Structure 1
Amino acid sequence: MLKLGHVLNDRGSKYAVSGCDARDRAEVDAALKDLKRDKSYAKATHNTWAVLLSDGGPLKGDDGESGAGMVIVRMLEREGLEDHLIVVTRWYGGKHLGGDRFRHVQTCVRAYLDQLAA
C-alpha cells in the first residue's frame, strides 16, 4: 500500500491518503485491514475509501464522514482509474469543517493521483 502520510492540516484535523490495487471486495477488505494494522491509522476518526471495480462498479465506505466516499468515486471515474483503492484518512481535530472537508478529500485524492502519475 502506498501511503503519502499527512497531506494537509486544518483547524486541528489532519488528513492523509493511501491506496493500492484492488480487484474485488475481498482485496479491498484485506487492504483496509492492513492499513489499520498501523496504530495511527487504526486510531483515526475516519478512513473513507472508494474503488471502481472493472467487473462490479463502484464500492465506497464513508466511515462516518457522510458523502466523502462519493467524492472519491467521482474523482476515480473522471480519471478512469479502475481496480485501485484510495483511502482518505482523517484525524478529527475538535472543530467541524463543514463543506471544507469535501475539498480536503479532493486535495488528498488529487495528491495521490499526481503521485501515481509521477
Structure 2
Amino acid sequence: MQVFDKIISDRGSRYAVSGGAARNRDEVAAFIAELKRNKRFAKATHNSWAAILNGEPVKDDDGESGAGALMLQMLERAGLQDHVVVVTRWYGGKHLGGDRFRHVADAMRHYLRETGLGD
C-alpha cells in the first residue's frame, strides 16, 4: 500500500491518494478496510476508488459523484490493471464545483507519477 497524504488543499478541502495491487473485489475491499484502519481516512468525507480487475472496470464514487468514472478513464489510459487507486477527500466546508474533478485528476496523476506506474 502506498499513501500520499496532504497532496492538495483547496478552500479547506484536503486530498490524499493511495493505491496497491488488487486482483478481485475482495482484495479491493480488504485494501479499503486497511486504509480505513487509519482513523484519519476512516473519518474522510469521501474515499472514491477505481480499479480494472481482470479487464473489468469497477469503481465507487463514495458520494463524490463522477469521481470513479474519471479515475477509471485515467487508469485505462495508463494501462494499469489489477491495481486499486483511492482518492480521499476531507470536505472543507466550501463547494469546489468543477474544481473537484481537477483535484481528483491531479491526485491520480500524482499517484501514477510517484509510483512510476503511469505511461
Shared fold by TM > 0.5?
yes
Q: Secondary structure at 2:92's aligned position in 1?
A: coil
Q: Secondary structure at 1:81's aligned position in 2?
A: coil
Q: Secondary structure at 2:32's aligned position in 1?
A: helix
Q: What is the Cα-based RMSD across aligned positions, in Å?
A: 0.9
% identity of equivalent residues: 59
Q: Does 1:86 align with 2:89?
A: no
In structure 2, stretches of 5+ residues that fail to align are: none
Q: Does 1:40 align with 2:40?
A: yes
Q: Does 1:7 align with 2:7?
A: yes
Deviations, residues 84-104 of structure 1 (Å, cap 9, x unaligned): 100000000000001100000
CA distance in structure 1 between the aligned counterparts of 2:22 and 2:104, rounded to whole angstroms = 20
Using the TM superposition, give the Cα deviation of residue 10 of structure 1 relative to its aligned residue in structure 2, in angstroms: 0.2
Q: Secondary structure at 2:94's aligned position in 1?
A: coil
Moved over 3 A (4+): none
Q: Secondary structure at 2:23's aligned position in 1?
A: coil
Q: Equivalences for 1:1-118 in 2 at 5 Å?
A: 1-55=1-55, 57-117=56-116
CA distance in structure 1 between the aligned counterparts of 2:54 and 2:107, rounded to whole angstroms = 23
The alignment covers a number of residue pairs equal to: 117
CA distance in structure 2 between the aligned counterparts of 1:73 and 1:43, rounded to whole angstroms = 24
CA distance in structure 2 between the aligned counterparts of 1:19 and 1:71, rounded to whole angstroms = 16
In structure 1, stretches of 5+ residues that fail to align are: none
Give the TM-score taking structure 2 as reference length: 0.96
Q: Secondary structure at 2:57's aligned position in 1?
A: strand
CA distance in structure 2 between the aligned counterparts of 1:104 and 1:95, rounded to whole angstroms = 14
| Letter paired with 1:97 | L
Give the TM-score taking structure 1 as reference length: 0.97
Deviations, residues 13-64 of structure 1 (Å, cap 9, x unaligned): 0000000000000000000000000000000000000001124x11100000
